[in-house]
Amino acid sequence: MREVTVAAVQMKCCADRKKNIEHAEHLVRQAAGKGAQVILLPELFEGPYFCQERRYESYALAKTAEENDAVRHFSKIASELQVVIPVSFYEETKNSMFNSVAVLDADGRNLGIYRKTHIPDDHYYQEKFYFTPGDTGFRVFDTRYGKIGIGICWD
């Protein structure tokens, strides 16, 4: 049986998306330096959790995986450090927006996307205002260090 070291990053996010990505990178490097091979970043860590209020201007935060700053940034970091990094992001497609994770393998390749399936609907979480239920099904990704499945929050 193979032994794999996994780390989960916990951090406070500010309004400056660039600073959040830089802070997350610092924590990823710290985890990798301690031997982590799979490093999970927080849900929608590029900024403060925006889904507690209905604000139309927040729709502008959604991007494709190819355009998303965090996905592009951590693709390079995953390759450099030879670690697997699942990156949570607000995804835009042609017709919908999703709460998604791009699974970046240790060579920086995006192995694919998982889209959050179960979207909460109550007065503390306005996620149905922002997200369509995922259409990827529950997936397992074959990474350099082993197979991993992704679930987001209520999944």
The CA angle 127-133-137, to the nearest 5 degrees, is 140
What's the CA gap between 145 and 123, in Å, rounded?
A: 40
Catalytic residue of the set 3, 43, 46, 57: 43
Say whether 14 is catalytic. no
Maximum alpha-carbon separation in the chain = 49
Helix or strand (DSSP H, E) at 1: none
| Tokens, residue 94 | 């042609």
- Which of 135, 133, 98 lies closest to 118, judged by CA? 133
Catalytic residue of the set 116, 127, 128, 147: 116
Say whether 116 is catalytic. yes
Cα distances (angstroms) measured from residue 46 to each of 24, 123, 146: 9, 23, 27
Say whether 127 is catalytic. no
Q: Which residues are catalytic?
A: 43, 116, 153
